Structure 1
Amino acid sequence: MSTLADADGIGTAIGDAVNRWTDERTTGELTLRAVIGLFAVTLSLYTFYFAYSLVFVRVRHSNIFLGVGLAIFFLYEAQKHLYGTADVAAYRDRKTAPEGSVLSRVRSQLGRFDGLVMIIEAAGALLGAWYVESNFDRLLNDAVIVGYTQQDYLMGLLIIVVVTDATRRAYGWAITSVVLFTIAYALAGPWLPGFLGHTGMTWQNVARYGAIGLSGTYGFILGIGTTWVAVFIIFAGMAKTYGALEYILNGGQRLGNYLRTGVVQVAVIASMAMGSITGSAAANTATTGSFTIPMMQDQGVRDDFAAAIESVASSGGQMMPPVMGVAAFIMADILGVSYVEIIRAALIPALLFYFSVGIGVQFVVLRFGWTAEQSASGTLVSSLFSRDSLVAIGYVALVAVAFAVLDSVIGLSALFAGLGALGVVVLVRLLQALIAQGDPTAARAEFAVAAEGFFEGPHFLVPMAVLVYTLVVMRLTPLSAGLYTAVTLVATIVVRCFVVDSLLRAPVTATVQTVKGLRSGAIEMAPLVGVLAAMGIIISMLTQTGLSSKISIRMVGLAGGVFIAVLLMAMFLSILFGLGMPTPAAYILVVILVAPGIIEVGVPELTAHLFVFYFAMLSAITPPVAVAVAVGSRIADANFIQTGIQALRIGVSGFFIPFAFISNASLIYWTFPGTLVHTTIVFVGVVGLIASTTAYDGKNVLSAVPRFVYFGLALIALYAPMTIVQAMAAMLIGVGLVFAQMDQLPATVTPVKER
C-alpha cells in the first residue's frame, strides 16, 4: 500500500509541477524550450559517445558540434529575447544613441525582430554544418586540387557570418572587432603602407581559408574546444546541476566560521575553484560573485573592496590547474606536450597568485576592521585535528591503500580496483558502527545516517579522484579522462538518489537531474563554440597575411633586443590584446602575436606561453576595460573606477609574478632542491610585496620608509640573479614581519598602528 501511495504521490507531484510550468508559458515558448532541450541533451550525449568511440575524424566531429552548438546558442538567446529579460523594452531602453534620433528609432524597430533573426541564424548554423557534412570528403580532398564551387564560397561566408555574430552576442564587440579587423586587413593588403602591406586576399580566399577549406573556423582551436574542452564544460554543468557549487560555497561558509576574515577568504577559494573551469573571468565573477559579494557586504566589507576581491579572485582562477579556463588544453596542443606537463608547470605560478591574493585580502580586511565573529567553537587547526577530521582522513587513506593494493599488487583493472576499494570502506564503516553500537539494528541506523551525510557533498570527491587518477597516473587524454569522470559523477548521483530517496522515487530523481545536467552543460558550452571558431578565423587571417611574424620582429626590434625591454613590451601587448576577451581567446591571440618575440630572445617556449597567458588573464582587472571589475562593481553597486583601483591594489603582485618565473626557471621546470628553495623564497618575497602595496604588515599601518624597504627586498627576493642574495632578502622580509607581529621593531622604523 505504501508503495502504491508513493507512486501516486509522485504522479500527482509531477502533474502539478507540469501544470504550473505550462500555465505560465505560451505554446511558442514551450516549443522553443523543448527544441533547445532536445538539441542540448543530444549534443552532450553525442560528445560522450564520440569520446568513447572516436567515430569521426576530429574535423568532422567539430563541424557537427559547431552546427548544433551554435543552434543551441542562438535559440537560447532567442528564447531570452522573446520570453525572458531581453525583451523589446530592453532594446528601447538602451542609451547607445540619443533618444529620438534616427539611430535610436532604427534600433528600437530592429529590436522587435531580433529574436526572429537569431532563429534564422540558428537555422543558418545547421545549414552550414549539414552542407560541410554532406560534402566533407570532397572539401577535404578533391576541392583542394580541382577547386571550390561558388556555392562552397557562399557557404563559407555564411559560416563566418554566423560564427562572428555568435561571438558578438556572447562576448561583445572586443573580440568581434578583432575578427572583423583581421578580415578587413586580409582584403585591404595591397593598399596598406609599410610593413603592414601584403598581396591581399579576395573574398573567395577569405571564405576558403576562413571556413570552407576546413581551416580557419575548423582549425585546431575548434578541434580542441569540441573535444577536450567540451567534455569538461559539460561535466562542470552537470556537477553544478547536481549541487557541486552549493557544496563548495557551503564548505567555504563553514571554513569562514573559523577565520577572522570570515567569508572573504571563502570568496577567494570559491572563485578559484570555479574560475579554473569557466573560460571567462566576467562569467565567473557573475556566477560566484552573485553569492560572495553580498556575503562580504553583510560582513561589513566596503562595496568597492567586495567587488574588487571577487573580480581579482575570479580572474586568477583562469590559470589554476587542472583546467585553467580551458587554456591548458589549447596550450598542450599548440606546444605538442602532454597535458600533465602543462598543469605541473602552471601549478606554482597559480598558487603564487592566489597566495598573494589571499595575503592581500587578509591584510586589507584586518587593516580596516572588516573581521567576522568566529561562530565555530575552537580554531581551524583544532578542527583539522579533531576526531571527526582524523577519522575522515583515515578513510581517505584507506581508500588509497586499498585501491593501490587491488590495482598494483593483485592486478585488477582501475574500475574493479575502485569498486573494491569502496567496498572495503563500506565494510569497515559497518564494522565501526557495529562496534560502537553493539546492536545490529542500531548499527544499520548509524550507517544509514553516515551514508546520507556522505552524499550531502563529500561524494563529489569521488569523480574528482577519478579525474586526477586518469590524468596523472594513467596519462589518458583529457577527452577520455573527462568521459570517465562524467560517468563516475552520474554513477555517484544514482547511488545518492537510492540512498537518500525511496526506491521508487530514486530512478525518477536521478534521471531528471541527469537530463538537466546534460542540458545545462551543453548550454554553457554553446557560447564558447562560437568564440573558439572565431579565433580560428583570426589565426588563419593573421597566418595567411604574415602579420603575426611581422609584429614579433618589430617588437624585438623596437626593444633593441634588450631582454627586459622585450619582456615589458610583451607584458603591455598581452594586456592590450587581452582587454575585454574571454581567457581562451586572449591566450590564443597573444600566443600568436606576442609569444614568438620573447621566445626569440631566449625565453623557453613553455615559459613564454605562461608569461603572455598570465598577463592576458590580468587584462580582466586592468583599466580601462577590466570586464571582471565591471561585472563585480555592478553586482556590488559600487563605483567602477574606485573598484578598479582597489582591484589593482589587491592584485598588483600578479603583475610581478610572471617575471619571477622567468628569472627562477625551477618554478616552471621542477628540480630538487631548486624548486623547493626558489618557491619558498618567492613566496616570502610576495608577502613583502603585498605589505608594501597595501601599506600594512598584518598588524601595523606602514609609513613610506618601511614600505620602500619591503618593496626593495621583495624585488631582490623575486629577481636577484644569485640564490644566496635572494635568500638573504627573503630572510630580512621574514624577520621584519615576525618582529612587527611581536612589536619588537626598532623605534626608528616602527610603523603606526591602525586606529
Structure 2
Amino acid sequence: MDNGKASGLPEGAARVLSDVLAALIVLLAMGWALSFQRTLGLSLYPQQLFAAMLALTVALAFLTLPGRRLAVRRCVPWYDVALAVLGLVTLGYLAVRYPDLVLMIFARPPELWLPGAITIVLVLEALRRATGWALVVIILAFLLYALFGDVFPGRLQGRAQNWQMLSGYMAVDSNGILGLPMSVAATVVVAFILFGVLLEITGGTLFFTDAAMLGMGRFRGGSMKIAVLASGLFGSISGSAVANVVGTGVVTIPMIKKDGYPAHKAAAIEAVASTGGQLMPPVMGASAFLMAEFLALPYSQVVLAALVPAVLYYVALFIQADLEAARLGIRAIPAEDMPKARQVARGAHFALAFGVLIYLLFWQRYQPERAALWAALVLAGTSLVLGYGGTRPGLRALFGAFSRTGRAVVDILLISAASGFVIGVLNITGLSFNLTYLLVQVGGGSLIGLLLLSALVCIVLGMGLPTLGVYVLLAALVAPALIQLGVEPIAAHLYVLYFGMMSMITPPIALAAFAAATIARAPAMATGLAAMRFGWAAYVIPVLFVFSPTLILKGAPFDIALALVTATMGVWLVSAALAGFFRGPLSPGLRAGFALAGLLALVPAEAFAGGIWSDLVGTALGAGLMLRETLRVPDPGAQT
C-alpha cells in the first residue's frame, strides 16, 4: 500500500486527467465509426486511429492501475506519470508517422525499432497491471520463439528474427499490435460497451433483473431461474465471464442460497450462467465480431450459427435448475418479494433500443459499431424522458458514460493489442503452419482424436484468460488444424471458443466458478465440479455441430428442424439423468436409461450414415421413459 509520501500526481488531478483520456478513447472510436474523418477531409490509415487509441489506453492504464494489483495509492507516483507520458508520446509518434514508418519495417531504422521496442514493453506492462501475468507470460514465450525459433527441433522449428526488425514489425505492421483484433476492439467493441454502460446508468440492468424475477419468480426454484436468465441477458453484452459473475452474482447468489440451495450449487449455477453469456449472441464476449473478420463472413451469419448451440446450453441449465428445485422441494419466491408488473412495464422502452439494434444489424445491414451507436442514442433519449425504477438519468450522467466506457475498455484494448503479438509471431515465423501440421499428426489424422486433443489444448490454454484473449489465441493455434481435417470453418471456430470458455468452469483454474464460490463462501473445488455438471452441454454440443452443421443452421430446412427437436429432447433427458429427478427421484437404472436415450437423441441425423436411427431410437426410448414417469408420479406437487 502506498504510504502517501511518494511524490506524484494528486488523486483529484489524476482522476480528472483519467476521465479526459477515457472519454477521448470513446470519442475517437465514435468519430471513426461515423466517418467524421471523411467529413473533415482527412485521409487516414485505420492503423493511425488504432495507434492513437492505444496511446490513450496505455496512458490511462498507468494512471489508474497500480504496479501491484489491488494496491491502494493516494497519488499516482511520478514514475507511473512518466510511463503514461512516454506511452502517449511514443504511440502518438507512431500514429503520426505511420504512413512513412510502415514502409521501413525491413530497413530497421532507429526511428522505427526504438519506438517499437518501447511500445512492446509498455503494452506488456500495462497488460500485466490490467489482467495479471498469465497472458503476459504466453506472449513473452511467443516473442522469445520469434527470436530463437531456429533452435527448436523438428516441426516446431521456425525462422529466427532480428530483434530490431521484430520490434518495428510488431509496432506498425497490420499483423502486429495494430492488426485485426485491435481493429475490432477499437471500433465495434467500444460501441457495444458504451451501449452496455448506458444500460447500467439508465437502469436497464435493473430492468432485466426485475423482468427475470417477474417472469420466473412464480415458478419453483425461481431464484435459480432468475440467475440463469439475468446472467444470460447481462452476459450476452458483457466481455468477461468473471465480470458477469461479480456483477450479477452479488444479487443472485444470496437470493439462491436464501431459497435453500447449497452454497456451492448456488455459486456453480451462477458461474455457468455467466460463462454462457460469452457464448450467447449478439456480442459473445466481443468474439463474434472478430470471428466474422477472421472468417470473412457477415456478422449476422456468425450470430445465427452461434444461436442454437447457445440456446441449447441455456435450455440444459434451465431444466437442471427446475429439476434441482423439484428435488430439493424449493418453492416459488414469495409474492411480497416480487416486483410489480406495472413497475416492470415502465422499462419496456429498453426493448426499443434492442429492437433498433437488431433491425439495423439484420435488416439494414449496418456495420455493428454504427448500429450499436444508434441504439445507444435511442436508449439515452428514451431514458431521459421515461427513466426506470423511480430515477431518470441527467445529461451529466449520460456524458459520464463516455469516461466510464473508456475505463471499461482498457482491458479489452490491451488484450487486443497483445493478441497482435501472437498473430504476428505466427505469421512471421511460420509457426502457424507448423502447429497445424503437428496437431494433425498427433491426432493421427483422426477427426475424433484431434477433437479430443483440441478440447484439452483449448481448456488448458484458456485458463486464466479473458474471453477475447482466449478466442484469438485458439483461433490462431487450434482452429486451422480442425479446418485442415475438413471441419466447417465456422464450426471449428465455435468449437475452440466453446472449449476455451469451458476453462472458466473447469478445475483446476476455473476463474468464473472460483469467483462465484468467493461470493457464496463455498468450497472452490466443489463449486467447480458442480459447475462442470451444470454446464455439461457445452462439452457435448460442440462435438455434435462439428460432425453435423445442422446445429449451426447449415443444411436443408427439414434436417435443421429435426436436429433442433431431437437435440432439445436429448438435452432434457440427459439433464434429468444428471439431476436424478424427473417427476420424482430416478433410480440408478432409470438415470442410465434417461442418459442413454438423451445421448442417442442428441446425435444429429446427419452426423453419420444411419444417424437417423440413433435419433429415432433415442427419441422413442426417451418418450417412453418420460411417459412412464409421468404415469408413475402424476402430480409432482410443484409448479414447473
TM beyond 0.5: yes
CA-CA distance at 1:376 after TM superposition: 7.4
Partner of 2:617: 728
Q: What are the superposed Cα offsets for residues 136-170 of structure 1, whole Å, 9 maximum, x if unpaired?
A: 221133x247x242132121111111221222222
Q: CA deviation at 1:342?
A: 0.5
Distance 1:584 1:600 in 2: 23
Question: 1:86 and 2:71 equivalent?
Answer: yes
Q: What CA distance in whole angstroms lies between the structure 2 residues aligned with 1:453 and 1:708?
A: 43
Aligned counterpart, 1:330: 290
Selected match of 2:519 from 627, 631, 635: 635
Aligned-partner Cα distance in 2 for 1:614–1:723 = 26
Are 1:375 and 2:335 an aligned pair? yes
Counterpart of 1:672 in structure 2 is 557
Alignment partner of 1:35 is 2:17: yes
Structure 1 residue 79 displacement after superposition:
11
Partner of 1:60: 48
Aligned-residue offset at 1:466: 0.6
* Secondary structure, counterpart of 1:201 in structure 2: coil
Residue 268 (structure 1) aligned to one of 228, 231, 247: 228
Output the aligned Cα RMSD.
2.8
| Shift in alpha-carbon separation, 1:218–1:561, aligned structure 2, 3 A | same
Quickly say closer, same or farther: Cα 1:300–1:74, change in 2 above 3 A: farther
Structure 1 residues 599 and 712 mapped into 2: Cα distance closer, same or farther (>3 Å)? same
TM-score, with structure 1 as normaliser: 0.77
TM-superposed CA distance for 1:304, in Å, is: 0.6
Give the 3-state SS of the residue equivalent to 1:282 in structure 2. helix
Alignment of 1:465-484 (within 5 A): 465-484=355-374
- Given the alignment, which residue of 259, 279, 283 partners 1:299? 259
Aligned residue among 313, 323, 347 for 2:273: 313
- The alpha-carbon distance between structure 1 residues 734 and 54, as it changes in their structure 2 partners (threshold 3 A), is farther
Which 5+ residue runs of structure 2 have no aligned equivalent?
A: 1-7, 38-43, 635-640
> Which of the pair has more CA radius of gyration?
1
Contact 1:78 1:119 in 2 (8 A): no
Please list the CA deviations of residues 534-553 of structure 1 after superposition, one character each: whole Å capped at 9, or x if unmatched: 01111111222222221221
Corresponding residue of 1:397 = none
> What does residue 131 of structure 1 align with?
93
Q: Match for residue 629 of structure 2?
A: 740
Q: How many residues align?
A: 616
In the alignment, structure 1 residue 120 sits paired with structure 2 residue 102:
no
Q: How many percent identity over aligned positions? A: 30
| Deviation of 1:303 (Å) | 1.0
Q: Tell me the residue number matched to 1:533.
A: 417
For residues 497 and 575 of structure 1, what CA distance do their matches in structure 2 show?
A: 43
CA distance in 1, matches of 2:188, 2:630: 48
Aligned pairs for 1:14-413 (under 5 A) are 28-53=10-35, 55=37, 56-78=44-66, 86-87=71-72, 115-141=77-103, 143-144=104-105, 147-213=107-173, 215-375=175-335
Deviation of residue 663 (structure 1)? Answer: 3.0
Q: For residues 738 and 114 of structure 1, what CA distance do their matches in structure 2 show?
A: 68
* In 2, Cα distance between equivalents of 1:546 and 1:370: 57
Name the aligned partner's letter for residue 695 of structure 1. Answer: G
CA shift, 1:206, in A, is 2.4
How far apart in 2 are the matches of 1:498 and 1:648? 37
Native 8 Å contact 2:62 2:81 kept in 1? yes
More off after superposition, 271-280 vs 471-480: 271-280
Partner Cα separation in structure 2 for residue 690 and residue 118 of structure 1: 52
Asked if the contact 2:9/2:77 (under 8 Å) is kept, the reply is no
- Aligned with 1:325: secondary structure? helix
Aligned partners of 1:361 and 1:594: how far apart in 2? Answer: 33
Taking a change above 3 Å as real, the CA distance of residues 260 and 560 of structure 1, as seen in their structure-2 partners, is same
Report the CA distance between 1:70 and its aligned residue: 2.5
Deviation at 1:220, TM superposition (A): 0.9
Q: Separation in 1 of the partners of 2:478 and 2:239?
A: 21
Q: Aligned pair in 2 of structure 1 residues 80, 243: CA closer, same or farther (>3 Å)?
A: farther
Is 1:681 aligned to residue 566 of structure 2?
Answer: yes
C-alpha distance after superposition, 1:438-488 (max 9, x if no partner): xxxxxxxxxxxx9x986x422111111110000010011102111211221
1:616-638 CA distance string (max 9 Å, x none): 11111111111101111111111
Q: Distance in 2 between matches of 1:479 and 1:120?
A: 34
Shift of 1:377: 12
Instruction: Map 1:585-624 onto structure 2 (within 5 A).
Output: 585-624=469-508
CA contact (8 A) 1:252 1:263 kept: no
- Indicate whether 1:518 and 2:410 are aligned: no
Tell me the distance in 1 between the aligned counterparts of 2:283 and 2:503. Answer: 19
- What's the CA shift string for 1:212-236, capped at 9, x where partnerless? 4454111111011101111111221
Structure 1 residue 80, shift from structure 2 partner: 11
The answer on whether the counterparts of 1:187 and 1:202 sit within 8 Å (CA) in structure 2 is yes
In structure 2, how many angstroms separate the alpha carbons of the residues matched to 1:270 and 1:497? 20
Residues 241 and 652 of structure 1, relative CA distance in 2, 3 Å threshold: same
Q: Given that residues 487 and 546 in structure 2 are in contact (C-alpha distance below 8 angstroms), is that contact kept between their aligned partners in structure 1?
A: yes
Give 3-state SS (helix, strand or coil) of 1:581's partner.
Answer: coil
1:199 positional shift? 3.1
For the structure 1 residues 654 and 519, does the alpha-carbon distance in structure 2 shift closer, same or farther, using more than 3 Å as the test? same
CA distance in 2, matches of 1:710, 1:691: 7
Partner of 2:40: none
Give the CA deviation at 1:374.
4.6
Q: Distance in 1 between matches of 2:316 and 2:372?
A: 31
Q: 3-state DSSP class of the match of 2:34?
A: helix
Structure 1: which amino acid aligns with 2:471?
A: Y
Deviates more, 1:519-528 or 1:707-716: 707-716
Query: Does the aligned pair in 2 maintain the 1:664–1:678 contact within 8 Å?
Result: no
Going from structure 1 to structure 2, the CA distance change for 1:677 and 1:155 (only over 3 Å counts) comes to same
Name the residue aligned to 2:545: 661
- 2: CA distance, partners of 1:525 / 1:27: 23
Question: Would the alpha carbon gap of residues 574 and 67 (structure 1) be closer, same or farther in structure 2, given more than 3 Å must change?
Answer: same
